[in-house]
Every structure is written in C-alpha cells, then in structure tokens.
Amino acid sequence: MKENDFKTFIAGLPAVPGILGRDLYFNSAVLVPFVLVGDDYHLLFQKRAAGIRQGHEICFPGGGHDEAVDLNFQETAIRETMEELGLPRKKITISGRLDTLVTPRGFIVETFIGTLAVKDLTELRPAVGEVAEIFTIPVSWFIDNEPEIYFTRVEMQPSSIGPDGKKQIFLPVDELGLPAIYGRNREGMKYRVVVYKTGKHLIWGLTAAIVYEMIGKIRSAGAGSATASFFRTAAG
C-alpha cells in the first residue's frame, strides 16, 4: 500500500463507527411511541396477533429494514409505525434515539423515540392480522416499578446434531489445525432477560430491554414520576 492509498483509506473512514459485520445480522428498527394522556406521558404498546411470528407477545411498532424502500433506519421505524398503527406520517414526530441493540441471536435493533399526535387511541387503525391490541402504560409506572431480571446462557457450538441425527460441523477445527478446545461447546456470556409484570400484560424480551435502558436514561436526566415536562418540547 502506498502512502497516498493509506491517506485515502483513512479519509474514507466513518466519523462515527458502525457495527462490524452488520450485513450478517437481521437489521431492524422500532419506534418507542410516547402518547400524552392528560398531562402525563404514556408508552404505547402493541400485542401481536395470534397468527404471526411471536404471536400474543407485547412489542413496539417496528420491523425489518428494507434498503429498497427505506433511506435509513429512522424511515424504517416510521414506515412500520404507519403500517401497524394506521397512522399518517404527519402525526409521528421523531424526538431522538437510543443505543443500538445487538442480540446474541443475530438481530440488530435501531431504536427511536417519538411522539404520536393523537388525543385518543380510537384514532388509530391497527393492522388487521398483525396487531391484536394496543394499550398504554404511564411512563411513571416504569419509573416506580423495577422489573424482574433473569438470564439465559449463550453457548458457542462448533458443531451440533441436526434433525436427521447427523453431526453438523460449523468450524472444522481438526482440518484447520486449531487447538482442540475450539472443537468443544464452550459456555459464553449470560444474556440478561428483563421482565415487567404490569398486572394485565407481561412485557419481556427486546421490548422490556429497550424500556429498561430508556428508564435508566430518564432517571439519569433527573426526570421524576411526573415525566410530562421532560418530553413536552418534543411533543410540541
């Protein structure tokens, strides 16, 4: 590599680093919808329809990033919200974003915070076949109530037994001459599972993880149980 080539390479590096190997993951985006109810902000949730993937589970509006349609991940979050809640774009305001979530199962979730300009949930037209129910919970409830924390263990498997009973080798340790330890299943990190029991609904998984991290940021910003003023400028 010549000096000019090195300089060109350095000049082309991104100002903000991305995620190495992003194209190997399922890339998605969600919107955390804030709705002003009276003078208090609520979070809006969806219950997935029974016939779709992860049916009956609680989630935020969102879905897979489509490079052919979406200019960026924010547009993904907006598009999915419009489709799932039956809401026109002009009623969705993006206020900010949270950290990128990367899961051990190969999902990348870009999370945006936004407000919905609706006075009542009856203004929404949830997508039939995708959304079974929509409901809101005051942000103050999550500030005042700690979730239950559990864990799953992530294990590295260089091989496994397939459905047909045959051994599937993912990393040919012997052929490559790697140390034998890499040919055995190895225990990896413990992955945190956040669970909120709200009484009527169980909120867990990615959705609960997003809420948990967001509430931590709200607390750090000095917002108490009365959170309306904290987001009022974003609502306009």
Sign of the four-CA dihedral 64, 68, 73, 79 = negative
Domain range summary for the chain, segments of one domain joined by +: 22-140+200-235
Listed residue (53, 57, 91, 95) closest to 74, CA to CA: 95
d(CA 36, CA 228): 8
At residue 57, the 3 state secondary structure works out as: coil
CA distances (Å), origin 114, targets 41, 60, 204, 205, 235: 12, 11, 21, 21, 8
pLDDT at 109: 96
Q: Which residues of the chain have pLDDT under 70?
A: 54-55, 223-236
pLDDT at 54: 67
Say if CB 43 and CB 31 are below 8 A apart: no
What is the rounded radius of gyration, in angstroms, for the C-alpha atoms of the chain? 22
pLDDT, one tens digit per residue, over 174-232 is 999 999 999 988 888 899 999 999 988 999 999 999 999 999 999 888 755 444 345 43
pLDDT at 224: 52
Tokens in use for 10? 């350095």
Pairing of strands 107-116, 26-37: parallel
Burial, 113: exposed, middle or buried (Cβ in 10 Å; 0-12, 13-18, 19+)?
buried
The pTM of this model reads 0.86
Return the number of other C-beta atoms located less than 10 Å from residue 65's C-beta: 20
CATH code linked to domain 22-140+200-235? 3.90.79.10
pLDDT at 175: 94
pLDDT at 223: 56
